[in-house]
Structure formats: structure tokens, C-alpha cells
Structure 1
Amino acid sequence: MSLMNVSRSEATKQFSTSMWWILAIVLFVYVAFTASALGFVLSASAAGALSTRGPQISADGLPAMIYSAATSVGYVFPLLIGTLMVTSEFRHKTLTPTFLATPRRGLVLGGKALVGVLIGVLYAVVGIVASVAPGAAFLAGFGFDAGFGSSDTWALIGRMVISFVLWVLIGIGVGALVRNQVGAIVGVLVFTQFLEPIGRIAASFVDGLGDVTRFFPGAAGDALVGASVFGGATGAGTAAGDPLTWWAGGLVLLGYAALFLVLGNLFSWRRDVS
């Protein structure tokens, strides 16, 4: 069986379940709410309609900061769907007939990766629409340029698509390496929502720690996009240390995807399924 046939079968398998569109809806609602709140607060603050004690944000940097909410807060969703693409098969034992039909397990994992790229693009569209639509509306409402005439804005959006795709691939690798669905999901949430944020905050107070935390997956993702609601339009997303360039952040994120996929294929994917 060829890679295209395996990918076609994998796509049918994934899109016949409800998990992908349930997570997509949650992603849309979560990002839209966050972008709306940020759009109002940041736009109103920059327009002088709100009294704030924090640093003033340049109007030129507002679009990137607001639009990047899709990846800054929404990246966990493509990561989760990628993980579920694999662990749900272990949980429900559907990998057994798959491996019987296609004994070349690396081909099966490759098919999942190809479908993961498609799902990553789909989730990117959902997340970007959820952040850009309300964000642009609030910017326009307060008299600011939404940035659609700038090539920088479109480059930002393009890098956000790449970021979503890479996060899905990382999730597939994590799922292949950690077979247990509960363990994989808990591990993803603990690291992305607690361990990494704490580490990046700690970098503000510990000299030299920022040089390490900038290579964390979330920080590399922010660097790839080039903006973050947590770190401004700097591309770093880190509290300390020199930021990674966007291409370096992309390479780091790609490295994580390749690492987890290779480790999963070598140490877990080839084990017996029972």
C-alpha cells in the first residue's frame, strides 16, 4: 500500500469522528474570546479611552499582538488533536486492523503525519479567523489600521499556519511515544500550561535562564510567529534573554516534531499492540 493510500485511509478515519470538529469549535470560541478581550483593552488603551499604568503599546504593533492570540493561547489545540490522532487508536484498539492491512508501520505513521499537516492547516484557518476578525473589528472601531495592507501582517499569518502544522506534528510524535491517552494528555497540559509558563516567568528573575527557556517549544513557537500576547511583537515570547529569530524558532519547533516522531517510531510504535 502506498503512502497516498495510507493517507487517504487515515483521513477517512480521522474525519469520521467528532473529536476534530469539537476541538475546532472550542479553539474558535477560546481564541475569539481572548482576541476580543485583547482587542478591546489594547485598542482602547492605545486610544486613551482607558486609564492604564502599564507601558503604552505602539499602534503599529497592535495588529500583530492581537492576531497572534491564535497561536499564543491556541497552540495547545493542534497539539492535543495530534496527540489524540494516535492515542485514541491505542485506546480503542483500532491500530490492530490498520497494522494487519499495512504491516509497514513507518508508512502508517507517515500517513498520519501527512493528514496531520492537513488538520494543522484547517485548525490554523479556524484560529486565525477567530483572532483576526474580532481583533480587526476593535482596531477599526477605535480608529486604528487593521494592518491588512502591510506585508508584515500577511507574513505573520503565514507563519501562524506553519506553527499550527508543526504543533500537530509534535502532538503526533508525543502520541506515538506515549501510548496511554490519559498520560499523554495530562503530560501535554502540565507542560504547556504550568511547567513552561513557570520556567519562562522565572527567566525574568534568574540570570541566564532566559538563554535556556527561549528554546522551549512554546517560546520557539512564539518566535516563529514573530509576536505573542505575552511578549509583545518581539517574536521571542521569553521574559529574558535574546529572542530567537523567526526562522530559528521554526527550526527549533521542527526539531521537536522530528525528535518526537523518530523516538515514537523507534521505541513505541514498533511494539506489539494488544
Structure 2
Amino acid sequence: MRALASEFMKVFTTRMWWLLALIMAAYLAFTAGGLGALFGFSIANPDAAAAAGASAPPLGDLALAPLVYSFATSTGYVFPVIIGALAVTGEFRHRTLTATFLAAPRRSGVLTAKYLAHLPIGAGYGVLAFAATIGVGAAAMGGFGLDTALGDPDTWAMVGRGVLAMALWATIGVGLGSVVPNQVAAIVIVLAFTQFVEPLLRMAASVSDATSQIGKFLPGAASDALVGQSFYSLAAIGDSSASLEWWQGGLVLLGLGLVLTVIGGATTWRRDVS
């Protein structure tokens, strides 16, 4: 318990957690509000939107409100991954890990405390992310008279699953940081994989039924399956019919975080840090 309390203190006595949270909220509010306004204008004024070249892509069978709100996880998940990775790599970078191990010689206990501490931290990021997308997205859609679906229980069930997804993403960050202790390298890997590599892999996997069965196990695809909504569905990236069940997506994220943490604990975490 002391190790767990220490990990919370290490996070909340720095500026990084609230700076990342602020950037995340602003980014998600902008994207959700922009998408809501685009669809609102396009639906309320189809002729003017077509003339101005601002027509929104067709939704098909997708509901607009959950699609807008899901920006919280489909693009915002990178932030809890980064905060989780920084919790580990920061100790290597600032040479505080030596003091940590002197105070808590059981290294596995320290890593476990980091893993467990970032479950509620990631969930907190999830609550803030959905507050941003729902607050601004609902206002944008409501301004054009569109249904915000805030009275639909399915919307709040999606939010709950999204908060869980963000919590699991934070533990994946902890696992990654334990495997790749170099802070710059870890952040580059996170940004490169989440923003470029995986979207391309998901697009490539959608070309056939065989590859789509593999692509659904990618972390982002598993996260979207857990949440139940994603703007990737609108962009036609990935085969939605081949997606996992929500609980299967959760297990993939949970397993990835645990596997990375165990690997890091068995390798990097055992090395001399002085």
C-alpha cells in the first residue's frame, strides 16, 4: 500500500499529468465539436453544404452522437498510454529509480504498484476525455437540432466501457515503459504506432476476410471493439463485421498490458540502475 501511495504521489506532484490532461481535453473538444458541427450543418442545410463542398460523409447505419463521443477513445487513448510510459521512463531518466529500489527492495512490488496506480489514473483521463467530447459534441449537434442521445442508456454504457478502455491503455503504457526505459524512444514508439503504423495496418487488414480476422486483434481495433463505437467505422478502416465482442476487446487490452509488464519486469527491471 505504501508503494501504491508513492506511485500516486509521483504522478500528482508533477505538472505532466495535468498538462497532458489539458491538451487531451482541448484536442478532443475541438475534434468532437468540429465533427458535430460538420454533420449538423450538412444535415440541417444539405443544399448549402453541397454548394460549399462541406458535405459530411454518409453515416449509413451508424448513429451520429455515439460516433462523435467515441473520439474520446478512438483518438484520445494515446494520452493515457503516454502518462503510463512516463511513469516508468521518468524514473530512469531522472535517476530516481535507485532511491525507489532502496526504499522498496522488492522490485516486482514497485512495478506492480505502478501498474495498479495507473488503472484509476487512466480511468480519470477517460472521464475527462468523455466530458470534453460529450460537452462540446452534444452542444454542436444540439445547436443544429440533432439528437444528442444523452437520454439513451446505450450511450452511457459506451462511456463506461470507454473509461475502462482508457484505464487499460494506461497500464499498456506502464508495460511499454518497463520494456523500453528510454523516455524519448518510448514516446516515439507510442506516437508512431498509434498515429501511423496501426491505422495503416488496419487499413491493409481490411482488404480480405483472412487478414481482417488478424487485424481485429490489433490494440486499437480491440479498444474500438470494447467501446463499441469508433470514427474508424465512418472512415471505412477495418472490417466492422470482423470486430471482436466488447469483452474480448477488453481481454486483449488487459493481456497486452500484463504481457508487456511481465516482460519488462523480467528483463529491464532486473538490471543494475545505479
Question: Is it true that 1:22 corresponds to 2:24 in the alignment?
Answer: no
Q: Pick which of 9-18 and 39-48 moved more.
A: 39-48
- Secondary structure at the residue paired with 1:143? coil
Match of 1:252 in 2: 252
Conserved in 2, the CA contact under 8 Å of 1:89 and 1:95?
yes
Shift of 1:247: 1.0
What secondary structure sits across from 1:144 in the alignment? Answer: coil
Match status 1:221 vs 2:220: no
Question: Conserved in 2, the CA contact under 8 Å of 1:225 and 1:246?
Answer: yes
Map 1:23-38; keep pairs closer than 5 Å: 23-38=20-35
Q: 1:182 corresponds to which residue?
A: 184
Q: Which has the higher helix share?
A: 2
Report how far residue 47 of structure 1 moved. Answer: 3.4
Where 2:242 maps in the other structure, the secondary structure is coil
How far is 1:48 from its partner? 4.4
Task: Provide TM-score, normalisation by structure 2.
Answer: 0.92
Is contact 1:176-1:265 (8 Å) kept? yes
Cα separation, 1, equivalents of 2:153 and 2:144:
22
Q: Measure the CA separation in 1 of the matches of 2:240 and 2:135.
A: 31
Which of 38, 43, 47 is 2:44 aligned to?
47
Is the CA contact 1:211–1:240 (under 8 Å) kept in the aligned structure 2? no
Report what 2:268 is aligned to.
268
Matching of residue 242 in structure 1 with residue 245 in structure 2: no
**Is 137-146 or 155-164 further displaced after alignment?**
137-146
Q: 1:160 and 1:240 mapped to 2: Cα distance? A: 18
Structure 1 residue 202: deviation in Å? Answer: 1.5
| Mapping 1:79-228, distance limit 5 Å | 79-228=81-230
What do the CA deviations read for 1:59-104 (whole angstroms, capped 9, x no partner)? x711110000011111101011100010010011101001001001
Inter-CA distance 271–150: structure 2 relative to 1 (3 Å threshold): same
Change (3 A) 1:30 1:54: closer
Taking the aligned partners of 1:230 and 1:138, their CA distance within structure 2 comes to: 21
Superposed CA deviations along residues 96-120 of structure 1, whole A, max 9, x for unmatched, are 0010010011111111122201211
Q: CA RMSD in A?
A: 1.9
Opposite residue 204 of structure 2, the aligned amino acid is: A
**1:12 aligns to what?**
9
Worse-matched range after superposition: 220-229 or 206-215: 206-215
Structure 2: how far apart are the matches of 1:48 and 1:62? 16
**Closer, same or farther: CA 62–174 of 1 in aligned 2, 3 Å:** same
Cα drift, residue 201 of structure 1: 1.3
Unaligned runs of 5+ in 2: none
How far apart are 1:261 and its partner, in Å? 1.1
Identical aligned residues as a percent = 49
**Closer, same or farther: CA 152–241 of 1 in aligned 2, 3 Å:** closer
Question: Residues 223 and 246 of structure 1 are in contact (CA less than 8 Å); yes or no, is this contact kept in structure 2?
Answer: yes
Give matches, 1:39-78, under 5 Å.
Answer: 39-49=36-46, 50-51=49-50, 52=55, 54-57=57-60, 61-78=63-80
* The 10-residue stretch of structure 1 (127-136 or 114-123) with the greater mean CA deviation from structure 2: 114-123
Residue type of the partner of 1:201? M
Range with bigger deviation, 111-120 or 81-90 = 111-120
Residue 29 of structure 1 aligns to a residue whose secondary structure is helix
Instruction: Please tell me whether the aligned partners of residues 177 and 267 of structure 1 are also in contact (alpha carbons under 8 angstroms).
Output: yes
